[in-house]
A = this chain, B = another copy of it.
Amino acid sequence: MPRAGLAPAAVIAAGAELADEVGLAGLTMGLLAERVGVRTPSLYKHVDSLDALRRSIGLQAKREMGDALARACVGRSGADAVHAFADAWRRWVVAHPGRYAATVRAPAPDDEEGLLLADEVLQILFAVLSGFGLEGPRAIDAARMVRSALHGFASLESDGGFGFPRDIDRSYHYLVTTLIAGLRSPDPDPDA
């Protein structure tokens, strides 16, 4: 009997695809084994556990998403860059809901690779916001705000949380535009 010829990377890639199809919560060892043409226990030759698999999918996804975001923002600045960042973010999340869910869980304090990748995405966001003259802690506040808004919108959208028929693209565009308007308005209390 010939072997399936798996490698950890292939298992993780297949897991990421499967997670996009059935949701991160629906990703199961049995399903993944069937997908890659192998019996369930064989997966453990490539992956430590389901939890470790999810973490690996998350790491890989952070890389992919970071690349997509960085590519979308090259050569742009100010409001233009924020729109490019936000649009690329949402496009990526909609295209890869399972992977995205895997990126959300914060890395453990001792997870160096996870922390590093999270920081890389954050650096892109800081660069995008650099044109708004935000100083020190305010830059962190602004990054948290943008990330919260984009994450919240994407996660509500993928949960089907928007009931009204109002066009979701337009709502998103309004969100980003209004965020930018807020970023531009004078800081009411720069010392806070």
- State the A residues within 8 Å of B (CB): 104-106, 115, 118-119, 122, 137-138, 140-142, 144-145, 147-153, 155-156, 159-164, 166, 170-171, 173-175, 177-185, 188, 192
Contact = CB atoms under 8 A, between A and B. Distances in A.
A180 to B, nearest CB: 8
Nearest to A137: B166
A145 B104 contact: no
A27 to B, nearest CB: 14
Contacts of A144: 153, 156, 162, 166, 171, 175
Contacts of A181: 181-182, 185, 188
A73 to B, nearest CB: 20
A119 B163 CA distance: 9
B145 A149 contact: yes
B105 A171 contact: no
A83 to B, nearest CB: 12
A189 to B, nearest CB: 8
11 contacts: A104-B161, A105-B159, A137-B166, A141-B170, A141-B175, A145-B171, A145-B174, A145-B175, A147-B156, A152-B153, A179-B182
A83 B140 CA distance: 20
Contacts of A160: 106
A182 B192 contact: no
Contacts of A118: 163
Q: Which of A105, A147, A171 has the most CB of B within 10 A?
A: A171
